[in-house]
Structure 1
Amino acid sequence: MHINRKIFEKLFSKLGSGKAIILLGPRQVGKTTLVKKLAGSLGEFLYLNADEPTVIASLTRPTLPFLKAYLANTKTIVIDEAQRIPDVGITLKLITDNFQDLNLIVTGSSSLELANQIHEPLTGRKWEFQLFPMSWGELVNAFGVPSMLSELEKTLVFGSYPEVVTNSGYEVELLKNLASSYLYKDLLNFQGIRKPELLQKILQALAWQLGSEVSLNELGRTVQADKNTVSNYLDLLEKAFIIFRLQPFSRNLRTEISSSRKIYFIDNGIRNSVVGNYAAFGNRQDIGSLWENFLISERIKLLSYHGFYGKNYFWRLARGGEIDYIEEIDGQLYPFEFKWNPKAKVKVPKAFIENYRTAPVQVIHRENFMDWLLEYPY
């Protein structure tokens, strides 16, 4: 089944701009399908998969005469998995500078090498976007509200990778394959990862601490590694689109937490695969954590696809009292609390109310979350 992606129209609007269109995101989220559809909307196109050695060889530091012959009569080119091409930023710059009428569409399954290689060479020459696993809005558009509400608890366990969503009954098998091969593929080939077993330990520790604050020192003690090593691995996991971090919001009140981070997984299914727990939602002890991870990751998708330029935070006092999630845009704070149970009591910390002028704290629960994940508010 084909599911329309919300970002397609935004990508389509950038065609013909003379700049490269860069689409980043994890493997298996549908980047190839999306860019082929995008390129195909213009007619014939040249598709180059950088997982193939011949493509890598052809696009590694090519000369301009070679490129003119290689791209002869081509109006649109797709370079898939471009992070595998050494010095790919220089090659992309050469193309954008010398083939102004060419539509250049590029994907990368990690921002590891790719981000480092393209930012400087392509300054002013690119549009960069991120593709996530299926968003709640995309699924609602495809299957309808009643169907998705009935599938909510299943989504909280298995996540929303396209292949997982469209192959009911095979979720566990597909998630095991995703977690063990595709998602780690770029990481394990990256020179910064010298201890694959440490990577696994860190991921498992993060999965068990889902929704809690993570201290680098404590995490290091848990996995028996030094703070700097742990920090480097977290950075790589984030650049590979497996996790993302929330910074603490602080205006330097003495009792505010300012050093810990909250770490979430891009997808609930991947998190559950890391800990090997696919139990039905109602039989779990981590319902609150899964609900929080789902809401924040889905909100990040919504904001990203609409071009949100603000910041995301959590807030907590050292002595207790916290706000689960805060969005800040144009100097205004919008705080949110997450509860699975709509009848659960929420106590907003007095210190937060007294020290910050904010919009009222919204409580997002299973009976009112739909609008929060479907309507862009800013």
Structure 2
Amino acid sequence: MYNRNLEKVIKSRFDGKEIIILYGARQTGKTTLITKLLSEIDNSVVFNCERPDIKAVLESMNITQLKLLFGNFKYIALDEAQQVENIGKVLKLIYDSPEFDAKIIATGSSSFELAGRITEPLTGRNIKYELFPLSINEIIENKSWLWAKENLEELLLFGSYPGIINKPIIEKQLFLENLSGDYLYRDILVLENIKNPSYLNKLLKAIAYQIGSQVSYNELAKMIGVSMKTVEHYIDLLEKSFVIFSLPSFSRNARNELKKSKKIYFYDLGIRNALISDFSSIEMRPDKGGIWENFCIAERLKYNKIWGLSPQMYFWRTYDGAEIDLLEVKNGKLFTFEFKYKAKGKHKLPLSFNENYKSERDILIDKDNFQLLFE
């Protein structure tokens, strides 16, 4: 079992009344994390909302039945809470009723379902957190910097889901091949009533081949044979299911800058490589640069979200090809990152960027100094 950085963050909010909402993709360790946290506390319990009897009691919204279910527990986790119809109203009832004084934690693998049913009923009554596959920072803390450095290629190829870190390579591959199928986005298929999941698979594969590059919804629509509106809808669902995330282009209206472009990355590279059935050595791959860029941006995103940092994240590019891989905006100041698996020569910001902006700190991240992602 791995210690997760979110443990400290969530623990610090146990004394408040707000309901804690923990989102995350399937298999990222939400149940393990909550079970571990509550095992250290007396009068606590974890209810699995996929159980029909528990689901029925919650959906009844009957105070008497809820009191019988909760008993005298003071800390109550509702695992896979998205399975409960009108979960937001159920949680609001529990929060507002003087009959209950327990601390409530709800977990869910599909933020679009939980958010859609929770956001409005629980305005001002909840705190949201996201649990990702293990971050490189968590791996270093649980193992060592040397282990992470020695096993970096495996992390780039097979990702960092908690259940596979210590498995042999063949078992990692089998795990990812199974996970990258319909199971990964099962909630989408059920809750959105999508009858042909092959389009989702085709879309994900098309995106997987384009990491590190700008994506065109119009081109993706033509590639998989659906409308551009459908592509937009599917990408939105996949983002809300924590499979992918997007990075918009940065512009303050300089004439030569891309203004409405987007790049799409995967939260876990193992999933991405499984989708295209390619676990070959990183050194020989033509997509090595895109893999490294995805790794660094995903790790930076995890770091910012885990610790409650909130910079705006972008990429920057001009029509003539000048580019910055990652640009963060914090309190009006710009911070820039360039990602090269193997750095060669001295790194310089594009002249066209320097003519219009000032970077407070510019960092080149390669395979030998990736600890700088967390500074």
> TM-score, structure 1 length as denominator?
0.95
Of residues 214-223 and 85-94 in structure 1, the stretch that sits farther from structure 2 once superposed is 214-223
Q: Secondary structure of 1:17's match?
A: coil
Cα-Cα RMSD: 1.5
CA distance in 1, matches of 2:322, 2:6: 37
Quote how far apart the aligned CAs of 1:161 are: 0.2
* Residue type of the alignment partner of 1:108: G
2:64 pairs with 1:60: no
CA distance in 1, matches of 2:168, 2:96: 46
Q: Secondary structure of 1:165's match?
A: coil
CA distance in 2, matches of 1:324, 1:299: 12
Name the residue aligned to 1:164: 164
CA distance in 2, matches of 1:91, 1:254: 51
Quote how far apart the aligned CAs of 1:345 are: 5.7
Name the residue aligned to 2:145: 145
Distance 1:313 1:190, change over 3 A: same
Distance 1:347 1:221, change over 3 A: farther
Name the residue aligned to 1:28: 27
Name the residue aligned to 2:328: 327
CA distance in 1, matches of 2:366, 2:344: 9
Name the residue aligned to 1:122: 122
> Deviations along 1:2-45, whole A, 9 cap, x unmatched?
21001101100111211111110001011001001112221242
- Could you list the runs of 5+ residues in structure 2 that have no partner in the other structure? none
Distance 1:225 1:345, change over 3 A: farther
Quote how far apart the aligned CAs of 1:61 are: 4.2
Asked if 2 retains the 8 angstrom alpha-carbon contact of 1:21 and 1:127, the reply is yes
Asked if 2 retains the 8 angstrom alpha-carbon contact of 1:6 and 1:305, the reply is yes
Name the residue aligned to 1:290: 291
Quote how far apart the aligned CAs of 1:347 are: 4.9
Distance 1:16 1:52, change over 3 A: same
* Residue type of the alignment partner of 1:372: L
Q: Secondary structure of 2:5's match?
A: coil
1:73-88 correspondence to structure 2 within 5 Å: 73-88=72-87
Asked if 1 retains the 8 angstrom alpha-carbon contact of 2:365 and 2:372, the reply is no
Quote how far apart the aligned CAs of 1:232 are: 0.2
Q: Secondary structure of 1:359's match?
A: strand
Name the residue aligned to 2:224: 223
Name the residue aligned to 1:16: 15
CA distance in 1, matches of 2:208, 2:345: 25
CA distance in 1, matches of 2:262, 2:216: 7
2:211 pairs with 1:207: no
* Residue type of the alignment partner of 1:326: L
> Deviations along 1:331-373, whole A, 9 cap, x unmatched?
0000111111121564532221111122243211112211323
Asked if 2 retains the 8 angstrom alpha-carbon contact of 1:28 and 1:182, the reply is no
CA distance in 2, matches of 1:358, 1:194: 48
* Residue type of the alignment partner of 2:218: N
1:224-373 correspondence to structure 2 within 5 Å: 224-344=225-345, 346-373=347-374
Distance 1:283 1:357, change over 3 A: closer
CA distance in 1, matches of 2:288, 2:27: 26
Of residues 182-191 and 233-242 in structure 1, the stretch that sits farther from structure 2 once superposed is 182-191
Quote how far apart the aligned CAs of 1:192 are: 5.5
CA distance in 1, matches of 2:51, 2:181: 21
Quote how far apart the aligned CAs of 1:56 are: 1.7
> Deviations along 1:43-83, whole A, 9 cap, x unmatched?
24232112222222111141223322322212121101111
* Residue type of the alignment partner of 2:85: P
Asked if 1 retains the 8 angstrom alpha-carbon contact of 2:43 and 2:72, the reply is no
Q: Secondary structure of 2:202's match?
A: helix
- Matched length: 373
Of residues 359-368 and 210-219 in structure 1, the stretch that sits farther from structure 2 once superposed is 359-368
CA distance in 1, matches of 2:42, 2:180: 36
Name the residue aligned to 2:90: 91
Q: Secondary structure of 1:101's match?
A: coil
Asked if 2 retains the 8 angstrom alpha-carbon contact of 1:83 and 1:112, the reply is no
Q: Secondary structure of 2:359's match?
A: coil
Asked if 2 retains the 8 angstrom alpha-carbon contact of 1:338 and 1:364, the reply is yes
* Residue type of the alignment partner of 1:217: N
CA distance in 2, matches of 1:221, 1:141: 45
CA distance in 1, matches of 2:209, 2:262: 15
* Residue type of the alignment partner of 1:254: R
CA distance in 1, matches of 2:331, 2:129: 22
> TM-score, structure 2 length as denominator?
0.96
* Residue type of the alignment partner of 2:276: V
Asked if 1 retains the 8 angstrom alpha-carbon contact of 2:140 and 2:148, the reply is yes
Q: Secondary structure of 2:111's match?
A: coil
Asked if 2 retains the 8 angstrom alpha-carbon contact of 1:133 and 1:267, the reply is yes
